[in-house]
Amino acid sequence: MNVFRILGDVSHLLAMILLLLKIWRSKCCTGISGKSQILFALVFTTRYLDLFTNFVSLYNTVMKVIFLLCAYLTVYMIYGKFRKTFDSENDTFRLEFLLVPITGLSFLENYSFTPLEILWTFSIYLESVAILPQLFMISKTGEAETITTHYLFFLGLYRALYLANWIWRYHTENFYDQIAVVSGVVQTIFYCDFFYLYVTKVLKGKKLSLP
């Protein structure tokens, strides 16, 4: 464990809590892509199947359970409790365009052809594109609530910190996880234009509205 990974996990947890608080307090999920949240729940489900078969540490187990609970609670709030405020007409990204190629790729490019390993690989590839429906929705509506931009900032920051963690682990323990690193780079690149808008607009107190 290193400081980059801890900060990354905290940033990830903070993002999920920010989103949950936003929906819970405003009792509204307008502007939030339910499809992205479904993809995140799928990412955690396929990645954390080893929760019961492979104990790594108390921290690892507790965080996995919290991440799973947050993901499913968020999906429940969007499609269940506050479904009347969910603007599905703006959440139109075709998930099959992501799921089909990623499923194929996880069968082709993995470390070992076992169910657990293929599901883990699927979750890594899926996570790198899971935010696309949300970014697509923002580009379609042309704006995002400030709290939503903070959510996206910490969500993008978490994987950027994981990149620093992998650089650190490569130099200190010669650890190299090519699938996770390549996917992590792709995932962080998708956030770059958002990061630019966040720094130049939101941090200056303006509302995030796309040109």
Partner 1 sequence: EGPGEGKDEL
Point out which residues bind partner 1 (CB under 8 A). 5, 9, 12, 50, 54, 56-57, 60, 63-64, 67, 111-112, 114, 116-117, 120, 162, 165, 175-180
Min. distance of Cβ 5 from partner 1 in angstroms?
7
If the CB atoms of residues 10 and 28 are measured against partner 1, the closer one turns out to be 10
Phi/psi of residue 14, each to 5°?
A: -60, -40
Query: Least distance in Å: CB of 200 to partner 1?
Result: 31
* DSSP three-state, residue 144: strand
Residue 113, phi then psi, degrees to nearest 5: -85, 65
Closest approach, Cβ 164 to partner 1, in A, equals 13
Comparing CB distances to partner 1, the nearer of 119 and 152 is: 119
> How far is residue 71's CA from residue 127's CA, in Å, rounded to a whole number?
13
CB of 159 to partner 1, least distance (A): 11
Question: With respect to partner 1, which residue has the nearer C-beta, 67 or 125?
Answer: 67
CA atoms 27, 29, 34, 37: torsion sign: negative
The residue among 109 and 193 lying less far from partner 1, judged by its C-beta, is 109
DSSP annotation of 6 reads: H
CB 118 within 8 A of CB 142: no
Q: In this structure, are residues 158 and 191 in contact, taking their beta carbons and an 8 Å threshold?
A: no
Which residues on neighbouring strands pair with residue 143, listed in sequence order? 209
Nearer to partner 1, 121 or 149 (CB): 121
- In whole angstroms, how close is the CB of 94 to partner 1 at the nearest point? 28
